[in-house]
Every structure is written in structure tokens, then in C-alpha cells.
Amino acid sequence: MDLTYTPEEEDFRQEVRSWLEAHVPRRPLKSFDTREGFQQHREWERTLNEARFSAVNWPVEYGGRGVTLLQWLIFEEEYYRAGAPGRVNQNGIFLLGPTLMEFGTPEQKARYLPRMAAGDEVWAQGWSEPNAGSDMAAIRATARKDGDDYIVNGQKTWCSRGAFADWLFGIFRTDPNSERHRGLTFILIPLNAPGVTVRAIAQLDGETGFAEVFFDDARVPVANRLGPENQGWKVAMATAGFERGLMLRSPARYQNTARRLVEFYRAHAEAADPCLRDAVVRAWLNAESYALNTYWTVSRLMSGGSIGAEASLNKIFWSEMDLHMHETALALLGPRAELLRGAPDAGNIGEWLDGFLFALAGPIYAGTNEIQRNVIAERLLNLPKG
């Protein structure tokens, strides 16, 4: 055990820090859940990619730098420290990207990964359906093979970034006689294909962060299938593992929130309810625990371990932590907590309300925390299935 950085790791941190200092936009971009903000964020992805910073841990041939997971964590720390924009293509880079690398053909990797890294193709997810939420194996949307194409029908919903994205990945029922998690196939679909209709859904904050997508005899080449036919569940589980586990929520994000919360508390300590002192300390400790756990996991992965059902432990921890931090911030704000970002007297406090609304989704997306608890109980603790 040596919890200090190597000179190589320190050099990498310096390089990232200097580059971000020179390039992070001075003014915050508009929300990527608006059309204008989405374009601004796409431009930012292009800027990142020009310096090969959009997907640092990917192999060099696909637009990354081939750095270790540990250096990826360092990159993320610097990224949040610099206050750089949110990643509009995170569904692609952090979720589909690793899945493509594991299951994709060489042609698919060459076709999709560089454009993903460049921000030229931004990805939305297509998991849930109106009657398949927590029960994802209840999927009904179909893909029927017809020559070299699949003909896709049905509906996907809660597709994050779906309103403005270019592509969607998801699982579809390819075997009409199959049930549950058998007979599903992982397919990549361009959202501008004929027969595909995207309808944006306004979220709790009024912005269109997700969408429902309708497929009406949409034709998609068989070459867009990721992994074997009828094996889509296995491919999707790998993607979900990345989502709940390491890549979607790097610790720097929460350490950054915790630091802001501490600063905020210090500025308002005298007026604050004494109980909140403890809540702020807890928030700080949680963020530290999460960082330690991530570094611990990365050390394990670097010596050949894998992340499986452990991802569910992670997902519960970060989602509950994030919500707790924002609830604490709103409690500190007291009567000003209800002000929207744009209110004349809001100053910069509106960020906390935005963050709170976003955090509220955490225990739901990427598999509800109730589902995660089932996974932990059945797959880590080996309790009998219900």
C-alpha cells in the first residue's frame, strides 16, 4: 500500500491542470438539456477531443490516451476542480464506449468510438419502456430481422439526452417467442432514421433532459447489432455495471460538491441551525469515503479484478450521498432555498436547487436503489431469491 502519487501521475495531473486552466470556458455554458446548451456542450466535447482529453482512458487508436484508471481519476479530479462543463456525451463515452470495447467487432469500434470521442455523435440510452422500468426484462419493443436489416417497432422512454442526441443504444426483443431476459438484442439506432420519432419530456426542472422515442417500422442494418443476437441482456448488464459502478460518477464530482458545501457553511455558519454542522461534516466524510472506495476498487481492478454486483453498493452510496448533500445545502439556505437560478436575488445559490432536483433522480435512474438492494442481497450476500 502506498497512497502517494508517482512522478508520472503527478506530471499527468499538471498537464491536465494547465490545459484546463487555459481552455475551460470562462462563462458557464447553458444547460445541455436545452437545444442551445446542447450545441455548446458538443463544441466543448470537440475542444476536449482535440487535446485527446475527451476519453483519456480509451486506447490511443480510438481517440484516447490509453492512461490507467488511476490517471482517469486524476483527470476527473482536475476536471471538477476546474469547474469544467458537464459531459453531454457521458452515456456514450462512459457507458457505451466500454461496452463497445468489450463486445464490438473491430469494424464497429473503428466506426463508433472515434466519432463518440469527438462529440460528432452524441448518444442517448434506450432501456426503459412504459411497462418495463425496474422490471427491464419485460421489454416489448421488437426488432424483426428482414434480410440485412432489423425492422424496429415499439417505444422506449426516459431516454437521457434523447431530445437532442444523434444516436440511441438499447435492447430490443428479436425472438418474438422469447420471454424475460432471453431473446433480446443490443442495437445501435440513429435517431434521424425514417420511422423514428423523438418526443422530448420536460423534467422536474422544466427542461428536456430526457425523451420518449417511438419506432414505427424503422429499418436498422444488422451491422448495428452489438454482440450476438438474443444475447443483448448480457451486453446490457455490462453497460449497466459501468453505469452503476465506476465510470458514471467519479468521486471528484462529490468531493467538489462537498467542498462547496463546506465553504457555503463557513460563510453562513453563524445563522445556521447547529444540527447542520453535523450534516455538513457527514457530507464531507461521505465524499471522502466514496473517493477512498473508488481508489480501492481501482487498485483491485488494476491487478486483474472485475466489478460485478459490487457496482450496486456504489450506486446506492453515491445517489444517497448526493441527495443528502443537496438537502443539507437547501437547509442552510433556509427561506431562500426556493429561489430559481434566474431569480434577481438568487446570486449563485440557484445551483443548489438545480443540484437538488438532479440529485432526486439519482436513487431512481441506472436501476432504482430498491433493485440495487435486491442485487446486493442475492448476488453479494447470496440470500435466496424472492
Q: Does 384 bind other proteins (CB under 8 A)?
A: yes
Which of the residues 316 through 345 are near other proteins (CB under 8 A)?
Answer: 316-317
Residue 167 makes contact with other proteins by CB under 8 A:
no
Contact between residue 255 and residue 80 where contact means Cβ atoms under 8 Å apart: yes
CA atoms of 120 and 143, how far apart (whole Å): 26
Q: Is 243 a catalytic residue?
A: yes
Exactly one of 33, 77, 129, 207 binds other proteins (CB under 8 A); that residue is: 77
Give dist(CA 244, CA 266) in Å, integer. 33
What is the Cα 366 distance to its own chain's centre? 8
Give yes or no for residue 5 binding other proteins (CB under 8 A): yes
Q: What phi, psi does 173 have (nearest 5°)?
A: -85, 115
Annotated active-site residue in 77, 129, 243, 310: 243
* Residue from the set 56, 74, 118, 184 that interacts with other proteins by CB under 8 A: 74
Q: Could you report how far apart the first and last alpha carbons of the chain are, in Å? A: 40
Of residues 180 and 373, the one with the C-beta less far from other proteins: 373
> Does residue 82 interact with other proteins by CB under 8 A?
no
15 near other proteins, judged by CB under 8 A: no
Q: From the CB of 147, what's the least distance to other proteins, in Å?
A: 46
Torsion angle, CA of 128/133/137/139, rounded to 10 degrees?
Answer: -50
Q: Is 149 in the site for other proteins (CB under 8 A)?
A: no
Which of 95, 280, 349, 366 forms a contact with other proteins (CB under 8 A)?
A: 280
Nearest-approach distance from CB 289 to other proteins, in angstroms: 5
Would you count residue 3 as binding other proteins (CB under 8 A)?
Answer: yes
Contacts of other proteins in 23-52 (CB under 8 A) = none
Closest approach of other proteins to the CB of residue 232, in Å: 27
Cα–Cα distance measured from residue 111 to residue 377, given in angstroms and rounded to the nearest whole number: 39
Cα–Cα distance measured from residue 26 to residue 20, given in angstroms and rounded to the nearest whole number: 11
Cα torsion 370, 372, 376, 377 to 10°: value is 20
The answer to whether 153 touches 172, Cβ cutoff 8 Å, is: no
Binding status of residue 279 toward other proteins by CB under 8 A:
no
Is position 106 an interface residue for other proteins (rule: CB under 8 A)?
Answer: no
- Binder of other proteins out of 37, 251, 355, 367 (CB under 8 A): 251
Task: Give min distance, CB of 90 to other proteins, in A.
Answer: 20
d(CA 56, CA 343): 38
Burial class (CB in 10 A: 0-12, 13-18, 19+), 173: buried
Q: For residues 127 and 96, give the distance between their C-alpha atoms in angstroms, rounded to a whole number.
A: 13
Cβ proximity to other proteins, 81 vs 182, nearer residue: 81
Residue with cell 444516436: 167
Return the closest-CA partner of residue 332 out of 279, 258, 281, 256: 279
- Of 85-93, 144-152, 198-206, 264-272, which segment contacts other proteins by CB under 8 A? 264-272
State the Cα–Cα distance between residues 347 and 334, nearest whole angstrom: 15
**C-alpha span between 193 and 135 (Å, rounded):** 28
Q: Is 274 in the site for other proteins (CB under 8 A)?
A: no
Residue 332 burial (CB count, 10 A): 23
Residue 205 binds other proteins, judged by CB under 8 A: no
Residue 21 touching other proteins (CB under 8 A): no
Site string for other proteins, 84-103 (x = CB under 8 A): --------------------
* CB-nearer residue toward other proteins: 291 or 329: 291
Q: Binding residue for other proteins (CB under 8 A) from 91, 153, 185, 255?
A: 255
Question: Which positions touch other proteins (CB under 8 A)?
Answer: 1-6, 9-10, 70, 73-74, 77, 81, 251-252, 255, 258-259, 262, 265-266, 269, 277-278, 280-281, 284-285, 287-293, 295-296, 298-300, 303, 310, 313, 316-317, 370, 372-374, 376-378, 380-386
Active site residues: 243
